Amino acid sequence: MPEKNIIIAIDGHSSCGKSTLAKDLATTLNFTYIDTGAMYRAITLKCLQTNVNIEDEAALQNVLIHTSISYDHILDTLQLLLDGQPVDDLIRLPEVAHWVSPVARIPVVRRFLVDIQRKTGNAFQRVIMDGRDIGTVVFPDAAIKLFVTADLNIRARRRYDELVSKGLDISYEDVKNNLEQRDLIDSTREDSPLKKADDAILIDTTFHSINSQLEEALRIVKAKLLTI
């Protein structure tokens, strides 16, 4: 009998530590990690590269038809590919961060990526997926759901420090304003807004270190896995 497919859905706000938490959980539990937010960033990058008007649905649909999003192991690391090319560094640029929420709220984009996300998640026996709507839309029947958040000022400081460490010239206020705008767009969009699933367990990382947030999540997940 084949092993049961187990999906852990981790949703939450931008820069709250959910991606770090998801990666650490995946490594500790030997699950495959999939960052669905990166897929939206990849589509945003494609929109910027093609200079498409995102308000023109027909033009945007044409771009999507000629776009492929996939994963492949490169140097023993599972990497996101846009049209066959690795883009993990390019999708983290500030210009992509600025436009990702407006692009991600477009229904045709969400439908395109939700289908890819479901196929990707079902391709692995044990997978952790993080994003904005994994537990509510993509995999509402996920075995385990976590919702991660943190204070806005803490999130802005973490994101600012990360960007500065990469050599980017950006102000803390610009980072904070970007996060505020993304929160507003993500939580108020008509199509699959960011919200905590009724059966998701909340983890607030405001006062957590990377190690302590992992410890809390492991305690929750291991207890849940015993019931599956």
Instruction: Indicate the residue type of 213.
Output: Q
Tell me the CB-side half-sphere exposure of residue 128, using CA atoms within 13 A: 24
Task: Look at residue 161 and tell me whether its pLDDT is greater than 90.
Answer: yes
Task: Look at residue 3 and tell me whether its pLDDT is greater than 60.
Answer: yes
Q: pLDDT, tens digit, for every residue of 203-228?
A: 999 999 999 999 999 999 999 998 88
Distance (Å, rounded) from C-alpha 109 to C-alpha 105? 8
pLDDT at 16: 93
pLDDT at 190: 84
Task: Look at residue 120 and tell me whether its pLDDT is greater than 50.
Answer: yes
Distance (Å, rounded) from C-alpha 58 to C-alpha 74? 34
As given in the structure block, the two tokens for residue 108 are 């045709």
75 pLDDT band, cuts 50/70/90, is: confident
pLDDT at 14: 87
- Contact (CB, 8 A) for 203 and 216: yes
Q: pLDDT, tens digit, for every residue of 34-50?
A: 999 999 999 999 999 99
Q: Which CATH number fits domain 6-222: 3.40.50.2000, 3.90.1300.10, 3.40.50.300, 2.60.40.150?
A: 3.40.50.300
Question: Hey, where are the domains in the chain?
Answer: 6-222
- Contact (CB, 8 A) for 10 and 21: yes
* Average pLDDT value for residue range 25-37: 94
1 pLDDT band, cuts 50/70/90, is: very low
- Contact (CB, 8 A) for 19 and 13: no
Other beta carbons less than 10 A from residue 11's beta carbon: 28
Distance (Å, rounded) from C-alpha 162 to C-alpha 167? 9
- Contact (CB, 8 A) for 28 and 213: no
Residue 69 CB contacts under 8 Å (≥ 6 apart), including other chains = 39, 42, 43, 80, 81, 82, 113, 116
Percent of the chain's residues with pLDDT above 70: 99
Instruction: Indicate the residue type of 45.
Output: L
Distance (Å, rounded) from C-alpha 145 to C-alpha 141? 9
* Average pLDDT value for residue range 130-152: 96
Q: Is the dihedral of CA 104, 184, 208, 11 positive or negative?
A: negative
